[in-house]
């Protein structure tokens, strides 16, 4: 008994490098009415994204300024920690040098007593050299103490200056955050509605179209991936479009891509609608 072979439909994997040019080939045979609806939906996604971009533009450079201030504050805190550690280590070294001086003085008192009671020149010279060595050691420790004291004074001055900078940055950060929070609070409801609307629109079209849209949009300076024809030119790069191509765009039966910038071109009637 013959068995029938079941042909399973093979789904083409989504290519994250998808562009509108490759979509022209992949979706070239799509029903004209369905294609027009997809182009309408894609254009609506673009309009929604543009509104979201305007909200982000309203926030301006504040998010970046807040981030920069937070980075500055983190850097200043690290500098303060390092300065405090350097001061502490130097203070410890000064204490050790003072202890060495005290030990040397005690040793010299002992050597002086021994030298006063020596019986020959050899012992006298040996003790004299030891006393001289201890005195040189004291001078070296005194020099290190002096250098350390100057070093600590410089570091303490820098520490106070850094603390003042930290306080100033802290005040700036609080003010910038309040300003940003106010703007976000004023625009969050509108942004949430737009994002929800965008998700609803995305659900209506092919995933590969969304991938291509996001790719072109991320590379465009003005964030426009779908544009209308204005004054016989691309609404994105403003290069002239041939008349025959404009007719194809007006029919909305297939994806038409600007040969200069790679954006999808749609009828100017979409804008009116």
Query: How far apart, in whole angstroms, are the C-alpha atoms of residue 68 and residue 87?
Result: 28
Would you give the DSSP letter of residue 16?
T
pLDDT score recorded for residue 11: 46
Q: Where are the domains of the chain?
A: 20-59+206-272, 62-186
Structural fold of domain 62-186: Helix Hairpins (1.10.287)
Q: Is residue 19 within 8 Å of 27, Cβ to Cβ?
A: no
Query: How far apart, in whole angstroms, are the C-alpha atoms of residue 245 and residue 264?
Result: 12
Tokens of 38: 């997809």
Q: Return the H-helix or E-strand segment holding 268.
A: helix 268-272
Q: pTM for this one?
A: 0.53
pLDDT score recorded for residue 158: 96
Residues 6+ apart with CB under 8 A from 91: 148, 152
- What is the DSSP secondary-structure string of 221-253? TT--SEEEEETTEETTT--B--HHHHHHHHHTS
Could you give phi then psi for residue 227, rounded to 5 degrees?
A: -135, 155
- Nearest-5° angle of CA 260, CA 261, CA 263? 125
pLDDT score recorded for residue 22: 55
| pLDDT averaged per 10 residues, the chain (length 273) | 42 51 53 82 93 83 90 96 96 94 91 86 88 91 94 96 96 92 84 92 89 89 90 91 90 88 89 76
In the chain, how many H helices and how many E strands? 7, 3
């Amino acid at each position: 008994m013959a068995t029938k072979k079941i042909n399973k439909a093979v789904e083409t994997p989504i290519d994250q490098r998808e562009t509108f040019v490759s979509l022209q080939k992949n979706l070239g045979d799509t029903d004209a009415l369905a294609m027009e609806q997809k182009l309408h939906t894609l254009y609506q996604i673009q309009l929604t994204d543009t509104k979201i971009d305007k909200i982000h533009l309203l926030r301006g450079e504040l998010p970046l300024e807040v981030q920069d201030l937070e980075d500055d504050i983190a850097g200043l805190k690290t500098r303060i920690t390092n300065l405090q550690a350097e001061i502490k280590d130097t203070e410890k070294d000064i204490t050790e040098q003072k202890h060495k001086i005290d030990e040397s003085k005690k040793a010299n008192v002992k050597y002086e007593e021994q030298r006063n009671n020596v019986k020959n020149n050899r012992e006298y010279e040996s003790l004299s050299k030891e006393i001289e060595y201890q005195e040189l050691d004291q001078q070296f420790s005194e020099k290190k103490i002096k250098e350390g004291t100057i070093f600590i004074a410089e570091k303490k001055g820098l520490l106070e200056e850094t603390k003042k900078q930290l306080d100033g940055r802290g005040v700036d950060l609080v003010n910038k955050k309040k300003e940003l929070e106010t703007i976000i609070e004023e625009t969050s409801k509108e942004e949430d509605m737009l994002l929800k609307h965008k998700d609803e629109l995305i659900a209506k079209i092919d995933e590969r179209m969304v991938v291509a849209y996001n790719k072109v949009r991320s590379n465009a300076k003005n964030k426009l991936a779908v544009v209308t024809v204005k004054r016989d030119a691309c609404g994105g790069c403003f290069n002239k479009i041939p008349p025959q191509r404009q007719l194809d765009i007006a029919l909305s039966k297939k994806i038409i891509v600007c040969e200069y910038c790679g954006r999808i071109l749609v009828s100017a009637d979409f804008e009116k609608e």
